[in-house]
A and B are shown apart, each in its own frame.
Chain A
Amino acid sequence: MDKSKILLVNFDKLVQKSLYELLCRYGYAVDSANSTEEALSLLSETSFHVVLADINGSQDTVVVKKLKEKTNGAEVVVLASYGSLEAGVASMKIGAFDYLVRPVKDDKILSTIEQALTNTGAEDNKVTEKNKDVWTSKFFNKGNTHYGLIGNAKEVQEIYTIIERIANTKATILIQGESGTGKRVLAHAIHKNDSKRRHKPFIEVSCGALPREIIESELFGHVKGAFTGAINDRKGRFELANGGTILLDDIDTLPMELQVKLLRVLQQKEFERVGDHKTMKVDVRIIATTNQDIQKLVTEKKFREDLFYRINIISIVMQPLRERKEDLPLLADHFVELYARENHKNIKGVAKEVMETLMRYNWPGNIRELENVIERAVILDINNVINNDDLPEVITNHNAISISETSGNITEKFNNHLKEALEEPERVHILRVLKEVGWNKKEAAKKLGVNRTTLYNKLRKYNVLSQVEAK
């Protein structure tokens, strides 16, 4: 995708720098000229899609006229300060596309540029919500991407569409998915894509990490003297998130008694601080995440049904990495670039065989695991190209048999009890050790610290005995 070119003309140095940073961030190619002569000479050499010009006085309308003559179809957008409104209006009369009065909001500048691009017919180059991430993943480091989400898989594309549709709405969102699939990143993306809320707080509450006794006070706040140790009034997370977004991570761990209170916040956006009778009203978008099968918890009466229906207005399921492996090269490249920059290393990329190894692996820890593996590889690398030696053994030793047998169905995994969930790593470990010792069961049992009968029993239990025998 060619980037749209924008020329900044006659701006004060500070303003010029801020506009440069902003427009680069949004994927535009930006050039600047400190004088009209410089701008005219640049315009004769290169074609630009939009010219952003500063207007200081009425005489500058002449400059706009000159620029307009030289721009060859590009649109001229004028930025006028309060003191020179007339000049802005006059420039419109002589052909400027629009004029903006400074101080101007970034959104306004960006939307005007997009409109100008549509006018020039360069809309294919403009930054759309969909392609924004492609370049952001190239240009910006961790946490700085507008979306933070990376991927071309169909499922991810669908998520991009959902994010666009739910922007600027009050809808409560439930994000489901295994650990490490990027639920939090998605919540961030939703917040950042909401023009009304993006500059307001984004408050994260890890429901599972907060002790049961203080969770109510954490969420809703308390007044002085509400309980022993409440020496001051304290705002709760809902109050802090007012106007913005609150992320309730692992909502399934929320105690039943608090689920009722949360239901009221969801329905009426009202609550009381602990120990207070005054009802507080907040305007908050609620995003809840879970790595459990919440519907199953409802049937087991571990999660309130009414709350489930209340949070399940928009439900997004994050696919595990093993089910969207087509995105793995893109993600790997992104993390290599990110950690190479962070660790001041000149890594050219990932060797082909490494990518094959990565593609073969099952990624039980999902994108978080991939990120950690790449970070480690970048730090350990000495050849400027990541090769198999830089990867941890757990990945390089992984073989085809374990892949096919460990890649289970997501819903199946969600339904697993702890005992069942622990069986899977056990199976993987047994198969890995067997491979290491050349499929010798006696050796494997010795290495595993179990007797041969136990190993046979385990292999039978996991239905892999015949396959192992055949090796």
Chain B
Amino acid sequence: MVKYNPSKRNTKIKSSNRNASKDLTRRYNKLVSLRRDSAGIISELCNPVDAVNRFLNLALEHIEENSQTRQFILESKVGVRKMATLLKRLDIYARKMEKEMRKLAEKHK
């Protein structure tokens, strides 16, 4: 017959709590670094995307209608617009991560 040993069980619970806490910390740190990286990428890419788009618009004003250069610029604008959309999505993703981080921080308390 196995005797119930409360101290052994407590040790087990403590160890599992410690593991969960470690896991939470690891997840939290991972999210923090992801959030920081994505914010950095957004910030760094926003400037060139914004400026390039504006320069392309200005260039369009200088270029004759129907010219091939105009077509190339219009194509480039499509690309820039895609990049802007990606940045927007990345920002939404970063915000979601921030929410999750807050939830984890609450749990950690």
The digit string for B76-108, where 1 denotes a CB below 8 A from any CB of A, is 010010001001101100100000000000000
**A56 and B40 alpha carbons, distance in the complex (Å):** 10
Cβ proximity bits B49-87 to A, threshold 8 Å, 1 near / 0 not: 111111101101110111000100010010010001001
Cβ-neighbour of B48 out of A14, A203, A204 (below 8 A) = A14
Flag if B55 contacts A203 (CB, 8 Å). no
Cβ of A82 under 8 Å from chain B: yes
Are A83 and B50 in contact (CB-based, < 8 A)?
Answer: no
* A82 contacts B88, C-beta separation under 8 Å: yes
Q: A56-B43, A82-B42 are in contact. Are A19 and B88 (CB under 8 A)?
A: no
Q: Is B46 an interface residue (CB 8 A)?
A: yes
Check A104 against B42 for contact (C-beta < 8 Å).
no
Residues on B with C-beta less than 8 A from A143 are 62, 64
Does A115 have its Cβ within 8 Å of any Cβ on chain B?
no
**How does the 8 Å CB contact mask read for A72-116 relative to B, with 1 for contact and 0 for none?**
000000000111110000000000000000111010000000000
Chain A residue nearest to B84 (CB atoms) is: A103
A130 CB contacts on chain B under 8 angstroms: none
Cβ 8 A contact of B65, one of A12, A14, A82, A202: A202
Q: Roughly how many angstroms separate A102 CA and B50 CA in the complex, as a whole number?
A: 6
Distance of B46 from chain A, by nearest CB (Å)? 4
Complex contact A199–B57 (CB within 8 A):
yes
Chain B, residue nearest A247 (CB): B65
B39 contacts A by Cβ under 8 Å = yes
- Evaluate contact between B65 and A15: CB separation under 8 angstroms: no
Chain A window 1-33, contacts with chain B (Cβ cutoff 8 Å), 1 for yes, 0 for no: 000000000001011011101100100000000
Distance in angstroms from A52 CB to nearest chain B CB is 13
Task: Determine the chain B residues whose CB is within 8 A of the CB of A17 once the complex forms.
Answer: 51
B-side contacts of A18, CB under 8 Å: 50-51, 54-55, 58
Q: Could you tell me the dominant secondary structure of chain B's interface residues?
A: helix
- In angstroms, Cα B47 to Cα A143, docked, is 29
The answer to the question of A411 belonging to the interface, with a C-beta cut-off of 8 Å to chain B, is: no
Would A19 and B54 count as touching, CB distance under 8 A? yes
User: Which residue in chain A gives the minimum CB-CB distance to B88?
Assistant: A82
Render B14-47 as a binary contact track against A, CB cut-off 8 A, 1 for contact. 0000000000000000000000001110110011
Does any Cβ of B come within 8 Å of A144's Cβ? yes
Instruction: Tell me how far the C-beta of A354 lies from the nearest C-beta in chain B, rounded to whole angstroms.
Output: 31
Known contacts A22-B57, A82-B91; can you find 10 more A-B pairs with CB under 8 A? A17-B51, A83-B91, A103-B49, A103-B84, A144-B62, A199-B57, A201-B65, A201-B66, A201-B70, A203-B66
Binding site for A on B (CB under 8 A): 38-40, 42-43, 46-55, 57-58, 60-62, 64-66, 70, 74, 77, 80, 84, 87-88, 90-91, 94
Binding site for B on A (CB under 8 A): 12, 14-15, 17-19, 21-22, 25, 56, 81-85, 102-104, 106, 143-144, 146, 188, 199, 201-204
Closest 8 A-B residue pairs measured CB to CB?
A: A82-B91, A81-B46, A18-B54, A14-B51, A12-B47, A83-B42, A103-B50, A18-B51
A-B CB contact pairs (8 Å), 14 listed: A14-B47, A14-B48, A15-B51, A25-B61, A81-B46, A83-B40, A83-B42, A83-B43, A83-B46, A143-B62, A199-B60, A199-B74, A202-B65, A203-B66
